[in-house]
Chain A
Amino acid sequence: MTIRSNRDHAQHYRPRMTCLKKVEALVVEMQDSKSGVTATEQKLNVTTIPHVMTGQDILAWIANKMKMDAEEAQALGTMLVAYGYIYPLQDHKKLILKPDGSFFRFQTPYFWPVQKWQAEDIDYAIYLAKRNMRKKGTLEVYEQARYNEFHKWLNPKWDFIVMQATEQYRANKQRQKADRVVFDCQERAYWIVQRPPPRAHSALDCMDRLVDPNDETRTYDHYRRTTIYLQQAMARSRVKSTVSLGALVKYINTYKNHDPFLAPCTPSNPWLSEDDTYWELNLPTVEVPTKMRVERWSFSLMDLFNDPRGRKDFKLFLKKEFSGENMAFWEAAEDMVWGSAASMADQSQTIFKTFLIPGAPRWINIDGRTMGLTVKGLEHPHRYVLDAAQTHVFLLMKKDTFFRYLKSPVYKDMQKRAIVPPLHNYSDAQVEQNARNRRPGTDPILIWQQLETERKAADLAGKPVDISTIKNKIDRK
C-alpha cells in the first residue's frame, strides 16, 4: 500500500512549506513496495498492525539512497519524524528516529504538515473531547490543562465541539478494530507534532507571515514608484564582471592564510587548547606584534587603520615625514561621525580652526572645490559635513603615503622585529590544566579605556603649543 499525494502546494503564506515538497517526494519513494523501506506486520498489544518498519531499516535506506553517512541519515530521519511524516509506535512522545529495532509507521497524507488546512485550536479541542469521551482519565496532565483552558475560552462553541466529538466517536466505533487502532495512532501522532507536550522538540513554526506576497492588487502609486526605481536602476553604473570577480577572488586568496578555519594559528588556537596566549599576543596595546598581524597591515589601508597597533605604527612613520595632519584630520572626522550629537558643534569648530582655515597650525592640503564645500557646510554643521574632505584625505593617504609606508624603514623594521610564536601542541591533559588555570581574561571595556587615555595623551601632546599663553606666563613672572 503506497500512500501518494499530488496536491498542489501554493503555500507561499506559510513558512517552510515549499521545501517540504521535496521531502514529500522522498517519503513517497520510501513507501514504494518494491524499492522502498521493507515493512512488515507487527503484533502490538493483541492487535496486528500492518506496514511497520524498524528504525534501522529506515536509516539504512536513507543512507543508501541519498549516499550519505550514518550521522547525516540519522539527522534526516529525525527530521522526518519531527515533521510528522513518520511516527513512532512505542514512546510516541519523543519525536526522534532511533537507530535500533523500534517501530515506526508512515503517516497518512491527510495528516501531513503541508495540507491546506491549519491545525486549529477547535480541531484540537474536538480531539481532546473525543479522547475524554472514550475513557475518562486518558488525558495526560498537560492535555488536561489545555482541555480546561479550551473549556474556558472556547465556551460559546462548546456545544459544537461536543457534538463533533460525539459524531466522530460514533463513526470510529463502526470501524474495524485494526483500522481503529491505526487511525487512533495516526491522529495521536499528528497532534503530538502540531501541539507538542511541554519541553519537547517541535519542528513546526506555528507563525504565519503577516503580508501575503501573492496579493496581486497593485495601485497606481505602486507602479509609478516602481517605474521611477527601475529607471534609476537602469542608470546605475555597473562594473564589468571580470574586474569585480577578480577583486573577489583576490580578496579571498589574500586572506586565506589568515582564516582560522583554513589555516592553523600560532601558538595555538584558544578554543582548542584553552590557552589564550594567542589573544594576549594580539592585544591592541602590545609592544611587538606578531608577524601575521604585520602582514595584514599591508593588505589595505583600512586594515591598517582598524588595528590600533597598526595605526600607532603608521603615525610614527608620518611623524618622521612631518605629514601627520592628514591622519589627524581623518581621525577627527571619524570622531564626529561616531560621536554624540551634543558635542558636534564644538567639534566642528575645533576642526575648522585646526585644519581648514588658511594658515591653520595643521592645515590639510585638499583641492579648492572640496575645501569650499566643506567650509560652506560647516556653517550648519551636521554629522557627515566632513564626508567629502575625509574621503579625499583618505584617498590621498591610500594612493601615496600608504605605499611609501610599506617601503619605509619603519615598516621594514617592524617586520623584522615581529615575532613568530612557536606552535604549541597541547596534549589532552595539558588542555584540561589550561582550562583550570585560565585567568578571567581582559575585559574589552578595560582595553578600550586604556586606548582612550592613550589617545587623549597623544592629542594633548600633538596640539600646537599656544605661544601667546606661554608668553603671558613669562611676562607675568
Chain B
Amino acid sequence: MGEMEQLRKEAESLKDQIIVARKGFADTTLQEAVAGTAVVSRVQLKTRKTLRGHLAKIYAMHWGAGLTQCVSASQDGKLIVWDTLSTNKVNAIPLKSSWVMTCAYAPSGNLVACGGLDNMCSIYNLKGKDGNVKVMRELASHTGYLSCCRFVSDSEIITSSGDCTCILWDIETGTEKTIFAGHLGDCMSLGVAPDFKSFISGACDYTAKHWDIRDGNCTHTLSGHESDVNAIGFFPNGNGILTGSDDATCKLYDLRSDQELITYQDATIMCGVTSLAPSLSGRLLLAGYDDFNVNIWDALKAERVGVLAGHDNRVSCIGVSSDGMACCTGSWDSFLKIWN
C-alpha cells in the first residue's frame, strides 16, 4: 500500500508542476488580447428550412463536404441523407438497430457511418453500383455504446465509445489500426482536426484529450469542466479546442500554449450543452442546450449575441456547413432546421 501512496503522491506533484509550468507561459489572457475589439453586433438567424420526415428523436446530424447535403440519424431506425436546399430526401437508409446515437458523412461524399447501442459502427456505401445503399462494413470491437464517429478519409474512421476508448479503423479490411485509451469515463464526443492529423475527444471524466492519429499518443489533456464533456470541436485554425459540458458552460482551450482561455457561461443558462459548432471565421460559437435553445456566443468576448429558439425539445446536434453559409440543428422533436 505504501508504494501506491508514493506513486499517487508522485502523480499529484507532477500535476502541480505542470500547472506551474502552464502559468509560466501565460503572459497574457484572451481578455487582454481582445480589449480593443468591439463585441459583434446582435446576430439574428432565422429558420430558412425545416426538414420533416423523422418519426422519433433525432440524435445526430453531420454536414457533407458538398454545399447542401447532410445526413441525420434518428431513433426510429432511419438514416436520412437530405438535400437541404430543396428539403428533399436523397436517401432513406433503414438500420438494423434503431438505437442509433451518431452519424457521420465522409468528406468525399461516398460513405456514411452510424452507430449506437449496438456497439458497432456500420458503414454504408451511397454510391453503390446498382444504386442501392448497402452496408459496406460493420466495425465491431467496442465493448460499450458508440457515442460518436468521424471519417478521416474514405479508408479510415475514428469512433469513440462508452467503454472509454477511441479506435481508428481501417475500413478496407475492417480491422482496428490504433486504440486510443486513457480516458477514465465514457467518451461522449470527438472531433477531427482540419488537417486530419489529430483528433480530440471529450469524456465523462470531465476532461478533453487531444490525440495524434499516427503516433496514437495523447498529446494534451484539458481539464476545467465540472461535469461530463458532451460536445467538442476544433477551432477553425486547428490550434484551439471548444468544449461544451453538462455544467452549462463551454470553454475554449489553446493547444499551443496549453491554457484554458475563456469560459462561456451565463447565470440564466441552467441546462447542459449538448452540441456545439464554430462559425467559419471562428468569431461565433453556436451551442445547443438542453433547454431547447441554441445560443450564439461571441467567441472572443464571451457574450451572448443571439438565440435560435424554435425547437420544441432538446437540441441534440448542430453543425455549420463547410462554406459556413448555414447552420443546421437537429432536435428530439424530430425536426431539423436550417438557420441563416
Contacts and interface: CB of A to CB of B under 8 A. Distances in A.
A223 B206 contact: no
Interface in B178-235: 182, 184-186, 195, 204-206, 214, 217-221, 226-228, 235
Interface in A247-278: 247-249, 251-252, 254-256, 258-262, 265, 269-272, 274, 276
B319 interface: no
Given A78-B312, A223-B8, A241-B29, A16 B185 contact: no
A242 interface: yes
A255 B219 contact: no
Interface in B247-265: 247-248, 254, 256-259, 261
A241 B279 contact: no
Contacts of B25: 238-241
26 contacts: A19-B246, A67-B268, A68-B268, A79-B290, A201-B333, A203-B313, A209-B185, A211-B184, A211-B204, A227-B7, A234-B14, A238-B21, A238-B257, A238-B258, A239-B25, A240-B25, A241-B27, A248-B33, A248-B239, A255-B282, A259-B283, A259-B324, A261-B327, A265-B325, A269-B325, A444-B67
Interface string B286-321: 000011110000011000000101001110000000
Contacts of B140: none
B10 A227 contact: yes
Interface of B: 3-4, 7-8, 10-11, 14-15, 17-18, 21-22, 25-30, 33-34, 37, 40, 43, 45, 48-49, 55, 64-69, 83, 85-86, 108-109, 127, 144-145, 153, 155, 162-164, 172, 182, 184-186, 195, 204-206, 214, 217-221, 226-228, 235-237, 239-240, 246-248, 254, 256-259, 261, 268, 270-272, 279-284, 290-293, 299-300, 307, 309, 312-314, 323-327, 332-333, 338, 340
Interface stretch (A69-77, A103-111, A363-371): A69-77
Contact of B300 (A223, A252, A338): A252
Nearest to B340: A271
A445 B128 CA distance: 13
Given A203-B314, A213-B184, 11 more contacts: A19-B271, A201-B313, A203-B290, A213-B205, A223-B7, A238-B21, A242-B28, A248-B33, A248-B254, A256-B281, A340-B155
Given A201-B332, A230-B15, A245 B28 contact: yes
A234 B22 CA distance: 9
A261 B324 contact: yes
A359 interface: no
A438 interface: yes
Contact of B218 (A203, A220, A229): A229
Contacts of B219: 236
A242 B164 contact: no
B281 A252 contact: yes
Contacts of B270: 19-20, 22-23, 26
A274 B314 CA distance: 29
A472 interface: no
Number of chain A interface residues as a range: 35 or more
Interface of A: 12, 15-16, 18-20, 22-23, 26, 66-68, 71-72, 75-76, 78-79, 82, 96, 199, 201-203, 209-211, 213, 218, 220, 223-224, 226-227, 229-234, 236, 238-249, 251-252, 254-256, 258-262, 265, 269-272, 274, 276, 279, 282, 302, 338, 340-341, 384, 438, 440-441, 444-445, 448
Nearest to B57: A202
Shortest beta-carbon contacts, A-B, top 9 = A255-B281, A223-B7, A259-B281, A444-B66, A230-B14, A213-B185, A22-B270, A210-B162, A244-B256
B109 A252 contact: no
Among B65, B109, B185, residue most surrounded by chain A Cβ atoms (within 10 Å): B185
Contact of B182 (A229, A254, A256): A229
B247 A18 contact: yes
B221 A233 contact: yes
A252 B283 contact: yes
B3 A230 contact: no
B15 to A, nearest CB: 6
